[in-house]
């Protein structure tokens, strides 16, 4: 009998193969827009994965590298491009992360991979925070379909996100992953451009 982690991996690969024509089409289409606008396409950043192992996360680049007169990067909200705002709000910036799924660094569904410094910071503040590293991080997750996506400006919101992540780990099933995927797709389809 397969362990859950092995079954989840097989399920991920099956789904990636199933939707690969759509992923490939979206990746090429969005990349073409970046090339047309002469913008860098891929954002890469090291993130902690399963058991805290560091991997390189791939996403579409949504922010410029603009700096102030002292050479420091401007605040995030000033660097988000119009294209980047659309990609973030529609979750299409995550398309390159399917390469992480193929490599085995990520799953389609799982706790979102935080920045390395956030894992260090919150593991010192919130008990059991590193429990979320017991499975591969996901492109989407149980916390995200319940409204906990993007920045978490305070510790209470991070604790709530962690509660959803731990609930997911304890209750994982293929059916639950499918439910989260459908909720994610629904959220993307109902997205409206501002």
Question: Is the full-model pTM beyond 0.75?
Answer: yes
pLDDT beyond 70 at 132: yes
SS3 of residue 190 by DSSP: coil
**Residues sharing a CB contact under 8 Å with residue 83, sequence separation 6 or more, in sequence order:** 33, 34, 37, 39, 62
Q: What are 61-91's pLDDT values in tens digits? A: 999 888 888 878 888 888 889 899 999 988 8
Percent of the chain with pLDDT over 70: 97
CB neighbour class for 33 (10 Å; exposed up to 12, middle 13-18, buried from 19): middle
């Amino acid at each position: 009998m397969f362990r859950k982690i092995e079954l989840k991996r097989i399920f991920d690969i099956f789904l990636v193969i199933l939707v690969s024509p759509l992923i490939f089409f979206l990746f090429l289409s969005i990349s073409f827009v970046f090339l047309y606008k002469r913008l860098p396409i891929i954002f890469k950043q090291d993130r902690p994965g399963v058991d805290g192992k560091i991997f390189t996360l791939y996403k579409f680049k949504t922010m410029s590298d603009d700096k102030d007169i002292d050479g420091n990067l401007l605040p995030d909200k000033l660097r988000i491009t119009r294209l980047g705002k659309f990609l973030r709000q529609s979750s299409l910036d995550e398309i390159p992360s399917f390469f992480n799924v193929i490599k085995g660094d990520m799953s389609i569904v799982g706790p979102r991979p935080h920045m390395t410094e956030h894992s260090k910071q919150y593991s010192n503040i919130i008990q059991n925070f590193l429990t979320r590293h017991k499975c591969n991080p996901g492109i989407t997750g149980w916390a995200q379909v319940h409204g906990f996506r993007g920045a978490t400006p305070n510790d209470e919101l991070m604790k709530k996100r962690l509660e959803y992540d731990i609930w997911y780990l304890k209750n994982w099933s293929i059916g639950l992953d499918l439910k989260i995927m459908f909720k994610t797709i629904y959220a993307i389809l109902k997205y409206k451009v501002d």
